[in-house]
Amino acid sequence: MDPLKAVRVYLDVFLLFVIFSKCQGRDSDSDYVTCGSLVKLMNTRHNVRLHSHDVKYGSGSGQQSVTGVEAADDANSYWRIRGKPNETCQRGVPIKCGQAIRFTHMKTGRNLHSHHFTSPLSNNQEVSAFGENGEGDDLDVWTVQCSGTYWERDDAVRIKHVGTSAFLSVTGEQYGHPIRGQREVH
């Protein structure tokens, strides 16, 4: 890979911070993100939160779109941390760095998903939300790349798709109608 492209890819990688929902009755002293945690994921380079809603892509997979939004109070930016399919993820157990997990969108019940369809604006790899009631397929599985033993609250992490080895990132390109101003996630 050309060194300039490698730097660009590195800079575009989704560096994430976790913002916990205060309505879940969490112990504020907890240092770790755990199975069952309700989180918001923020790309620190573009200052957008991972967002979804029941609007389908008009091309590619035609699945539910996943975008980045700037609004900190957006109700469509909450994701539940769950174990991968057919594996128990006991609520309250800390997520290990490198652990395979799923992110389930709170409002629609669909899982963060990726595959080899191209994204609508940049022609990178499409990221969508897929499945019903939290059940999808093996392309809903991601790993958390972090520096310690466990995923700590407020630490910058990278999210890697297990099926394609692509990192969750934002291009900075913005959509027009019907999701005007939202950023493309790939």
For 105, counting Cβ atoms within 10 Å of its Cβ (0-12 exposed, 13-18 middle, 19+ buried), the class is: buried
Query: Please, what is the average pLDDT of the chain?
Result: 86
Residue 168 · residue 142 · CB < 8 Å: yes
Domains of the chain in sequence order = 3-20+29-185 (2.80.10.50)
Give the pLDDT score at 20.
38
For 145, counting Cβ atoms within 10 Å of its Cβ (0-12 exposed, 13-18 middle, 19+ buried), the class is: middle
Could you tell me the pTM of the whole model? Answer: 0.84
Determine which helix (DSSP H) or strand (DSSP E) holds 3, and give its type and residue range. Answer: helix 3-12
User: pLDDT, tens digit, for every residue of 94-121?
Assistant: 999 999 999 999 999 999 999 999 998 9
Q: How far is CA 165 from the centre of its chain?
A: 14
Residue 141 · residue 85 · CB < 8 Å: yes
**2 band by pLDDT with thresholds 50, 70 and 90:** low
Residue 53, token pair as written in the block: 């809603």
Report how far residue 14's alpha carbon sits from residue 75's, in angstroms, rounded to the nearest whole number. 20
Report how far residue 186's alpha carbon sits from residue 67's, in angstroms, rounded to the nearest whole number. 9
Contacts of 141 by beta carbon, 8 Å cutoff, 6+ apart: 84, 85, 100, 101, 102, 161, 162, 163
Cα distances from 141 to residues 21, 52, 81, 92, 178, in angstroms, run 23, 17, 11, 19, 28
User: pLDDT, tens digit, for every residue of 53-101?
Assistant: 999 988 889 899 999 999 999 999 999 999 999 888 999 999 999 999 9
